[in-house]
Chains A and B, each alone.
Chain A
Amino acid sequence: MTETYVQQFEKFSGNGGNEAPSWLPRVRRAAIERFATVGFPSSRDEEWRFTPVGPIAQTDFRPALGATLTRDALQPFLFGHPEWPQLVFVNGEFAADLSVLPSLADGVRLGNLATALAIDSGLLERHLTRHAGPEATPFAALNTAFIRDGAFVYVPADTAVDRPIHLLFVTSPNAGGTVAHPRNLIVVERGAKASVVESYVSLAQGATYFTNAVTEVFSGENAWTEHTRIQRESERAYHVGLTHVDQARGSHYRSFTLAMGGAIARHNLHVRLNAPAIETLMYGLYLTRGDQLVDNHTAIYHDHPECNSWEVYKGVLDDRSRAVFNGKVFVRPEAQKTDAKQTNRNLLLSSGAKVDTKPQLEIFADDVKCTHGATVGFLDPLALFYLRSRGIPPSVAQKVLTYAFAAEVVNEVALEPVRRELDRLVLERLGYPI
């Protein structure tokens, strides 16, 4: 309930708020005021029409506290690369003892936001909440009000980080009934190169809790940024996330999001192209079952000419689960020579599953190439017959074709260990036909 969070805020700003740099309390205060005004979205709100957040709004979640975990407990989430730089957060709180912070190239800063706020206040003030403001969504306002900790990644100009950086958000087994608001900032400066993996995982399978995350990304001129977001919360948890990306001239940003957890899971990916000659790739995969509801809202803002964006989101839905896809492409009058392609494809494994998909193109320039397509369907009977005609039983053929459908987008993940892990997750969900 809205009042619960306002009360939590007053308590929080009395404690944690004191450590913050002077500019932050004002930002938080404005955010809680905004949240108190707008409240949780209702289904009358077009942006939330298919995703009723009542169960989130009506639960009194208590603020999450950190917990002690062992490194062993994290093993399943490390892609077989425990040596990668890692920032580990348990229930939203930084766990220094579980994190791996090797020395990286000169000037690279990798740590938790709480610490960075104390020592890098100037840099943070230039970026934090400047990309994803509290007005983006009601949940972003709520997150902003509770900014305390999260991941901070800074890659200075003309610097390449040679290994992927893993931001790992774990919910501990006893964290049922809690809410965490992780806030992350990734800054990749001019000519720099970085690959960041952001995972939301759970050791509290079967527990109901609420993760409300916001990640801000700045990709500087000619920077190259790969961003992989993996959402594997408990299937009874609630997960709401906003990723906002600001791209500068000539930069390349590629995103891959996997969503397979959560009772209700919503992710907004907003990418703003702030200059010409930008390239943006957005791939997504969602796998749902049971009564899960997974919602992806993407928005790409072509504000300048000669930018390319390419988006493919795919979903595999089983049982009575539901998925929502909304893909907005805004092309401003000055954004001539825009090349934007968007695709959303959904595979239903059960007649009880349902998809609401809506491509939304708003194009105000005339010399552009913009296409979109959305499909919802069952497995192709001809493809099934083809496999069966080669001796493969229908139960296996179905799984192989489902895997194939998902693999097409998984194959776009550039990092091989991550791709292999995603592949494994898809196969595990399908019962290893391959």
Chain B
Amino acid sequence: MLEIKDLHASAGDKEILTGISLTIGKGEVHAIMGPNGSGKSTLAQVLAGHPAYEVTAGQVRFEGEDLLDMQPEQRAQAGLFLAFQYPVEIPGVTNAYFLRAAYNELRKARGVEEVDPIDFLDVLEEKLKTVEWGPDIMSRAVNAGFSGGEKKRNEILQLAVLEPKLAILDETDSGLDIDALRIVAAGVNKLRNPDRSFLVVTHYQRLLNYIVPDVVHVLVNGRIAKSGGKELALELEARGYDWVDEAAGVA
């Protein structure tokens, strides 16, 4: 599904990713953990094509294609989805319009006929259940005036509607209270399937109690210092990140 080889990326003069290699298979859930400033969110954003970052070396293949050669919209059309850490507010555009526009762009890219607003309501009805929402949310402007929890739920709703092959969740748990976290995590779990992979970026182990990963990677100073099973997350929770840091220094 996703194959990252020796990825380096910078923001301005500062190199943030210093050689990441990582392979995610079909249907797998990988977690990326690490201390603040380790490059977790940068990795997520670089994969989605954020214009603030420049890739200086390395390769990324997504379903065999050169991901870095694609524009952000082409990456989305190819089946990559980034749930933003800070979803953008778009006052003046309704959630319904925004979701349908995105949905139709992906269909267009696949050569499938676009759906009209009426048919789209049917699509939505089921997807809204994923995040335990009623239809009212659709007439509100995208993320405008949403609480932190609502914004994250809206990201998961988009995920549900756009049905990507690979979903990257960038600190989706940050700023969520326990109820919102439960809803968001349950939404993600409903969307797990053997064909869909996840890359879950998080600072805390807490989210991984709900979204149980197959593999956990620890990012330190822009590269993967350690990888392991889901028990690695528990170990990090108990011991902090320092010991990995030291271990990486030795390695």
Among candidates A386, A393, A411, residue contacting B88 with C-beta atoms closer than 8 Å: A386
Q: Provide the bound-state CA to CA distance between A380 and B52, in Å.
A: 13
Contact in complex: A407, B93 (CB < 8 Å):
yes
- Among B10-18, B72-80, B189-197, B200-208, which stretch is in contact with chain A? B72-80
Among candidates B82, B91, B109, residue contacting A404 with C-beta atoms closer than 8 Å: B91
Report which residue of B87, B98, B109, B141 has the largest number of chain A beta carbons within 10 angstroms of its beta carbon: B98
Q: Provide the bound-state CA to CA distance between A388 and B106, in Å.
A: 11
A397-431 to B contact mask, C-beta < 8 Å, 1/0: 00011011111100100000000000000000000
In the bound complex, residues from chain B placing their C-beta under 8 Å from that of A432 are none
In the complex, whether B49 has a CB less than 8 A from a CB of chain A is yes
Q: Of all chain A residues, which has the CB nearest B78?
A: A391
In chain B, positions 80-98 with a C-beta closer than 8 Å to chain A are 81-82, 84, 87-88, 90-93, 97-98
Contact in complex: A404, B90 (CB < 8 Å):
yes
In the bound complex, residues from chain B placing their C-beta under 8 Å from that of A400 are 93, 98, 101
Contact in complex: B51, A381 (CB < 8 Å):
yes
Q: Provide the bound-state CA to CA distance between A285 and B101, in Å.
A: 25
In the complex, whether B50 has a CB less than 8 A from a CB of chain A is yes
In the complex, whether A382 has a CB less than 8 A from a CB of chain B is yes
Q: Of all chain B residues, which has the CB nearest A394?
A: B73
In the complex, whether B102 has a CB less than 8 A from a CB of chain A is yes
Contact in complex: B93, A396 (CB < 8 Å):
no
Q: Of all chain A residues, which has the CB nearest B79?
A: A391
Contact in complex: A393, B101 (CB < 8 Å):
no
Contact in complex: B76, A390 (CB < 8 Å):
yes
Q: Provide the bound-state CA to CA distance between A408 and B91, in Å.
A: 7
In the bound complex, residues from chain A placing their C-beta under 8 Å from that of B43 are none
Q: How far is the CB of B123 from chain A (nearest CB, A)?
A: 15
In chain B, positions 42-84 with a C-beta closer than 8 Å to chain A are 48-51, 71-73, 75-77, 81-82, 84
Contact in complex: A391, B88 (CB < 8 Å):
no
In the complex, whether A383 has a CB less than 8 A from a CB of chain B is yes
In the bound complex, residues from chain B placing their C-beta under 8 Å from that of A403 are 92-93
Q: How far is the CB of A8 from chain B (nearest CB, A)?
A: 46
In the bound complex, residues from chain A placing their C-beta under 8 Å from that of B88 are 380, 382-383, 386
Contact in complex: A391, B84 (CB < 8 Å):
no
Contact in complex: A392, B93 (CB < 8 Å):
no
In the complex, whether B199 has a CB less than 8 A from a CB of chain A is no
Contact in complex: A391, B109 (CB < 8 Å):
yes
In the complex, whether A385 has a CB less than 8 A from a CB of chain B is yes
Q: Provide the bound-state CA to CA distance between A381 and B53, in Å.
A: 13
In the bound complex, residues from chain A placing their C-beta under 8 Å from that of B48 are 389
In the complex, whether A73 has a CB less than 8 A from a CB of chain B is no
In the bound complex, residues from chain B placing their C-beta under 8 Å from that of A396 are 101, 105
- Given the contacts A382-B88, A404-B93, A389 and B82 also touching, CB distance less than 8 Å: yes
- Given the contacts A391-B77, A396-B101, A411 and B51 also touching, CB distance less than 8 Å: no
In the complex, whether B158 has a CB less than 8 A from a CB of chain A is yes
In the complex, whether B9 has a CB less than 8 A from a CB of chain A is no
In the complex, whether B162 has a CB less than 8 A from a CB of chain A is yes
Contact in complex: A393, B73 (CB < 8 Å):
yes
- Given the contacts A385-B72, A386-B84, A386-B87, A392 and B105 also touching, CB distance less than 8 Å: yes
- What size tier do the contact residues of chain B reach? 20 to 34
Q: Provide the bound-state CA to CA distance between A33 and B91, in Å.
A: 50
Q: How far is the CB of B32 from chain A (nearest CB, A)?
A: 18
Q: How far is the CB of A85 from chain B (nearest CB, A)?
A: 32
Contact in complex: B49, A388 (CB < 8 Å):
yes
Q: Provide the bound-state CA to CA distance between A401 and B101, in Å.
A: 13
Contact in complex: A390, B158 (CB < 8 Å):
yes
In the bound complex, residues from chain A placing their C-beta under 8 Å from that of B75 are 389
- Given the contacts A400-B101, A434-B101, A388 and B73 also touching, CB distance less than 8 Å: yes
Report which residue of A380, A390, A401 has the largest number of chain B beta carbons within 10 angstroms of its beta carbon: A390
In the bound complex, residues from chain B placing their C-beta under 8 Å from that of A389 are 48-49, 72-73, 75-76, 81-82, 84
Q: How far is the CB of B175 from chain A (nearest CB, A)?
A: 18
In the bound complex, residues from chain B placing their C-beta under 8 Å from that of A394 are 71, 73
Q: Of all chain A residues, which has the CB nearest B90?
A: A404
In the bound complex, residues from chain A placing their C-beta under 8 Å from that of B73 are 388-394
Q: Of all chain B residues, which has the CB nearest A408?
A: B92
In chain B, positions 156-170 with a C-beta closer than 8 Å to chain A are 158, 162
Report which residue of B49, B77, B88 has the largest number of chain A beta carbons within 10 angstroms of its beta carbon: B88
In the bound complex, residues from chain A placing their C-beta under 8 Å from that of B106 are 391
Q: Of all chain B residues, which has the CB nearest A393?
A: B73
Contact in complex: B76, A391 (CB < 8 Å):
yes
In the bound complex, residues from chain A placing their C-beta under 8 Å from that of B102 are 387, 390-392
Contact in complex: A405, B92 (CB < 8 Å):
yes
Q: Provide the bound-state CA to CA distance between A59 and B72, in Å.
A: 52
In the bound complex, residues from chain B placing their C-beta under 8 Å from that of A386 are 84, 87-88, 90
Q: How far is the CB of B107 from chain A (nearest CB, A)?
A: 9
Q: How far is the CB of A400 from chain B (nearest CB, A)?
A: 6
Among candidates B92, B105, B109, residue contacting A406 with C-beta atoms closer than 8 Å: B92
- Given the contacts A386-B84, A391-B162, A434-B97, A407 and B49 also touching, CB distance less than 8 Å: no
In the bound complex, residues from chain A placing their C-beta under 8 Å from that of B82 are 389
- Given the contacts A386-B87, A389-B48, A392-B101, A407 and B92 also touching, CB distance less than 8 Å: yes
Q: What 6 new A-B contacts, CB under 8 Å, besides A385-B72, A394-B71?
A: A389-B76, A389-B81, A390-B76, A394-B73, A401-B90, A404-B93
- Chain B residues proximal to chain A, CB less than 8 Å: 48-51, 71-73, 75-77, 81-82, 84, 87-88, 90-93, 97-98, 101-102, 105-106, 109, 141, 158, 162
**Pairs A–B under 8 Å by Cβ, sample size 24:** A381-B51, A383-B88, A383-B90, A385-B72, A386-B88, A387-B90, A388-B71, A388-B72, A388-B76, A389-B72, A389-B75, A389-B81, A389-B82, A390-B76, A390-B101, A391-B77, A391-B102, A391-B109, A392-B73, A392-B102, A393-B105, A396-B105, A406-B92, A407-B93
- Chain A residues proximal to chain B, CB less than 8 Å: 380-383, 385-394, 396, 400-401, 403-408, 411, 434
Q: Which 7 A-B pairs have the closest CB atoms?
A: A404-B92, A391-B76, A407-B92, A390-B102, A388-B72, A386-B88, A391-B105
